[in-house]
């Protein structure tokens, strides 16, 4: 029979732990969420109180064009925020 080897890991100290994202990444994520939220807020409304009356307000520039562009822009900012890697001072010196 073969012996199984176990690997013991040392508990990491708090000084060795690093976050995946830095402060700038979180700021960009919040900006992206704000842009997406603004796009959805601009899409609200346009209905009619009376179901027998059609409202042309539904087809306004704000709801058909501006709002989807803002939502897509927000998702682009979110992807950029995830992929963004700030240059460290150590990396710039090398």
Average pLDDT of the chain to the nearest whole number: 84
- Rounded-to-integer distance, Cα 43 and Cα 58, Å: 9
Query: Average pLDDT, stretch 43-70?
Result: 87
pLDDT(55) > 90: no
Domain ranges of the chain: 26-85
In tens, the pLDDT along 18-36 reads 888 899 999 999 999 999 9
Task: Give the tokens for residue 50.
Answer: 């009376």
Q: Which residues contact 46 (CB under 8 A, 6 or more apart)?
A: 55, 57, 58, 60, 63
pTM of the model: 0.72
């Amino acid at each position: 029979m073969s012996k199984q080897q176990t690997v013991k890991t040392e508990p990491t100290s708090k000084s060795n732990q690093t976050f995946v994202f830095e402060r700038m990444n979180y700021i960009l994520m919040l900006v992206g969420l704000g842009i997406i939220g603004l796009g959805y807020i601009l899409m609200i409304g346009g209905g009619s109180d009376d179901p027998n009356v059609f409202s042309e307000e539904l087809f306004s520039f704000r709801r058909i064009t501006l709002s989807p562009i803002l939502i897509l822009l927000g998702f682009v900012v979110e992807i950029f925020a995830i992929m963004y890697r700030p240059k460290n001072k150590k990396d710039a010196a090398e």
